[in-house]
Chains A and B, each alone.
Chain A
Amino acid sequence: MSSPSHTPPRTGQLKPKTDWSSVVLAPVHFIMGLADRPLRLLQKRAGIGGMAAFFLAPNMLIFGVFVLLPIIINLIYSMTGGSALFLSERSFVGTDQYAKLFDCKSYLDPMSCQEDAFWTAVGNTFWFVVLQVTLLILFSLITALILNRELMARSFWRAVFFFPVLLSPVVVGLIWKWILQRQGLLNFALYPMGFEPYTWLSDRTFAFAAAVGVSIWAHMGFYTLILLAGLQAIPKDLYEAAEMDGTKPARIFWRITLPLLMPNLLVVVVLALIRAVQVFDEVFVLTGGGPGTSTLFLTQYIYETGFVSQPRNAGLAAAASILMGLVLVVLTLVQLGIGRKNENKGKR
């Protein structure tokens, strides 16, 4: 959005042609025009500064009620117990919920913990984040490098890799559930090679691998796009100069491309981390967290503890979500730090 090119403001209606968009917009303009009279009165009362508050109010009101307020009362929730929904009916228990989450004999063995599901989810999420982000960035980088070459129909190929990004997580989950099932495409592809049909998603290891693979499939295009933009921002004359000096392609990559892409790469890594920590939708539809707890991740743990389990345990879910929030806040601060550093570099 950084390169706006405004058409100069039209002075009066010079175009004699019927402008259909104005015909369509006429009723909208009429309604907005009706609002003008009372708002003029308001402006007289409140002044121009007051109008600023008026413009800001709806957004801030919604934002305050549905975003800020929940953040604050989430803290309070995490310190209450019982199965009641409303805060007024809940008993204050201090840090009991956190103590319950952290009550473990050994942190390396989820089964030794009181909330074994939480630690299973933490462990799964950790491995998911490590694997998914590494592979995701690797594939996105390779794809971006390839799309940055002199290529026939580049925008078509870019679209190919971007396509799954827009699909809904439910659709993504169902597409792959269909492919990985017993009569699915994967078994069909393996059949000629002598493999017997297999229900892939009932296999603990494979279900986890599928969760990683499917989420890479779904999100790769997004990161490819950002990296490609970064690659295209690298000045071409650097490459020309290197080529004239007869520099080897590998050396060009390590000495020019990678260092100059580094700021983008870091941002992309942190963005991918932030999103991987919250993994839920597509995996939930694909595996439902199973088989067993092999693909149970943090967000699903929070959802099931707070909304599905009987009795619901909102306090425990809130405490778990605050812990997850802390991780995300740290990651975002790192990202902002990187962004600032990049900006400063640009200024110098």
Chain B
Amino acid sequence: MSAAIRFLTRRKGGKGWHWTDIVTWVWLIGGLFIMFGPAVWLAFSSFKTPQGLAEFPPSILPYVTQQVKVEGYEKPLMLYNAKMPDGSTRVLAEVRRIGIVSQMVDPKAPGEVIKVNIGDRQPVREVFFATENYTQPFMQFDFFRYLWNSVFVTVTATLITLIVNSMAAFALSKYEFKGRNLAMLTILATLMVPLSVILVPLYSIISTVGLFNSLWGVILPTVATPTGVFILRQYMLTIPDELIDAARMDKASEWQIYWRIIVPLTAPALAVLAIFSVVWRWNDFLWPLIVLSRRELYTLQVGLSIYAGELNVQWHYILAMTVVTMIPVVVVFIFLQRFITTGIAGSGLK
């Protein structure tokens, strides 16, 4: 036994366990639970029926009480393990409950009604995934609409961001012209001015140009990202100018240089920007909340927060829709995490 422990706890280089090793692993394992736990708990909860959600203490897996069709009764009846006066246990179906006495029948012999004290019965439970939590919001409420709006905003805004930002970055990195530094400085300076500072005037501009209550009103103010211009420009600066000169000799137009040379060579930086843009736009909340006031225009984030803020919250639907909202980001996280982490570590963008 002690040999097994020694084997399991042995370390590289034959060194013993230092107290810092213990702190490390306690921190990491604790982190695993605290960081993943809440989201996993939410995902499990999203499969519970409203009754299951109201239970305390809650179970981890979604359980429901088993039901059975009994001859002579229209509705399916709940199954219970009932303790009999003689000490034996029988599986009985509950017909009705009166005060603290439950009237039960044996599903196999439904003729005789047995009275059981409610303290003496335990529900027979089975694992059951309430998938209607997922299907109902899409059928009954507008969640399909919200999903579509979110996808439309995310995809359109990201495409425009990539094109517009890369064109600007190209101009700012490969051309000499008056006011280049001024343009660059202005773009960088606005990094200081987040959306929350210009809410009121931006709203009035959006209303003036008729984009209030329009998805374009959500998209347009977000696409000229200063961070995007900045990281693309930094990347383009490293592309040798000789390439461009050579292309010009071959009578390539400036547009072809941009499209055929610069864009392909900037692909890695564009990929990082695309990933970030997708996550940013998918997660946007405050601005859509202000611009969109008609239900059919809500994005997922807005729709979700509005439903969750209603007086009698239907948690079983909210939880399921939260999971749906989480899915794209989790997919991005699993497959593209490496790009994101190098992107952040390299430029501190978020």
Interface residues of A (CB under 8 A from B): 1-4, 6, 9, 29, 32, 35-36, 39-40, 43, 48-49, 51-53, 55-56, 58-60, 62-63, 65-71, 73-74, 77, 85-87, 142-143, 146, 149-151, 155, 157-171, 173-179, 182-185, 187-188, 191, 197, 217, 221-222, 225-226, 228-229, 249, 267, 271, 278, 280-281, 284-285, 288, 299, 302-303, 306-307, 314, 317-318, 321-322, 324-325, 328-329, 332-333
Decide: B199 and A302 in contact? CB cutoff 8 A. Answer: yes
Decide: A62 and B224 in contact? CB cutoff 8 A. Answer: yes
Excluding A2-B347, A77-B201, 7 further A-B contacts by CB distance (< 8 Å) are A1-B231, A1-B272, A52-B171, A59-B167, A165-B350, A188-B58, A307-B199
Decide: A56 and B224 in contact? CB cutoff 8 A. Answer: no
Residues of B within 8 A of A229 (CB): 345-346
Q: Tell which of B205, B238, B253 touches A6, judged by Cβ atoms closer than 8 Å.
A: B238
* Segment 226-279 of B: residues with Cβ below 8 Å from A: 229, 231, 234-235, 238-239, 243, 253-256, 258-259, 261, 265, 268-269, 272, 279
Count A-B contacts at CB 8 Å: 302
Residues of B within 8 A of A183 (CB): 53-56, 58
A324 to B199, CA, bound (A): 12
Residues of A within 8 A of B315 (CB): 178
* Cβ of B329 under 8 Å from chain A: yes
Number of B residues near A (Cβ < 8 Å) is 108
A178 to B43, CA, bound (A): 11
A146 to B32, CA, bound (A): 14
Looking across the interface, which residue of chain B has its beta carbon closest to that of A282?
Answer: B285
Q: Tell which of B42, B56, B58, B340 touches A175, judged by Cβ atoms closer than 8 Å.
A: B42
Decide: A170 and B301 in contact? CB cutoff 8 A. Answer: yes
A284 to B196, CA, bound (A): 14
Decide: B235 and A43 in contact? CB cutoff 8 A. Answer: no
A39 to B193, CA, bound (A): 35
* Segment 46-70 of B: residues with Cβ below 8 Å from A: 53-58
A225-B345 contact, Cβ under 8 Å, with A73-B204, A166-B329: yes
Could you pull out 19 A-B pairs where Cβ atoms are within 8 angstroms? A1-B231, A9-B243, A29-B259, A48-B254, A55-B254, A56-B171, A58-B163, A71-B197, A74-B200, A151-B24, A160-B36, A161-B35, A167-B283, A185-B41, A217-B38, A285-B305, A328-B197, A329-B192, A332-B192
Decide: B193 and A325 in contact? CB cutoff 8 A. Answer: yes
**Closest beta carbon of chain A to B52's beta carbon, Å:** 10
A85 to B193, CA, bound (A): 22
Interface residues of B (CB under 8 A from A): 12, 20, 23-24, 27-28, 31-32, 34-39, 41-42, 45, 53-58, 163-165, 167-168, 170-172, 175, 177, 183, 186-187, 190-194, 196-205, 207-209, 220-221, 223-224, 229, 231, 234-235, 238-239, 243, 253-256, 258-259, 261, 265, 268-269, 272, 279, 282-283, 285-286, 290, 301, 304-305, 308-309, 315, 318-319, 322, 325-326, 329-330, 332-333, 337-338, 340-341, 343-348, 350
Residues of B within 8 A of A142 (CB): 27
Looking across the interface, which residue of chain B has its beta carbon closest to that of A66?
Answer: B221
Residues of B within 8 A of A1 (CB): 231, 234-235, 269, 272, 343, 346-347
A173 to B165, CA, bound (A): 32
Decide: B255 and A39 in contact? CB cutoff 8 A. Answer: yes
Decide: B304 and A170 in contact? CB cutoff 8 A. Answer: yes
A70-B171 contact, Cβ under 8 Å, with A58-B164, A188-B57, A225-B345: no
Residues of B within 8 A of A328 (CB): 192-194, 197
Decide: A69 and B177 in contact? CB cutoff 8 A. Answer: no
Residues of A within 8 A of B58 (CB): 183-185, 188
Residues of A within 8 A of B187 (CB): 63
Q: Tell which of A39, A66, A175, A285 touches B253, judged by Cβ atoms closer than 8 Å.
A: A39
Decide: B165 and A36 in contact? CB cutoff 8 A. Answer: no
A36-B341 contact, Cβ under 8 Å, with A6-B265, A174-B322: no
**Closest beta carbon of chain B to A164's beta carbon, Å:** 6
Residues of A within 8 A of B282 (CB): 168
**Closest beta carbon of chain B to A187's beta carbon, Å:** 7
A170 to B88, CA, bound (A): 51
Residues of B within 8 A of A66 (CB): 202, 205, 220-221, 224
Decide: B164 and A169 in contact? CB cutoff 8 A. Answer: no
A67-B177 contact, Cβ under 8 Å, with A55-B168, A146-B24: no
Decide: B344 and A318 in contact? CB cutoff 8 A. Answer: no
Q: Tell which of A43, A71, A182, A226 touches B348, judged by Cβ atoms closer than 8 Å.
A: A226
Residues of B within 8 A of A182 (CB): 56
Residues of A within 8 A of B45 (CB): 178
Residues of A within 8 A of B347 (CB): 1-2
Decide: A59 and B200 in contact? CB cutoff 8 A. Answer: no
Looking across the interface, which residue of chain B has its beta carbon closest to that of A321?
Answer: B197
Decide: A306 and B201 in contact? CB cutoff 8 A. Answer: no
A226 to B56, CA, bound (A): 41
**Closest beta carbon of chain B to A335's beta carbon, Å:** 9
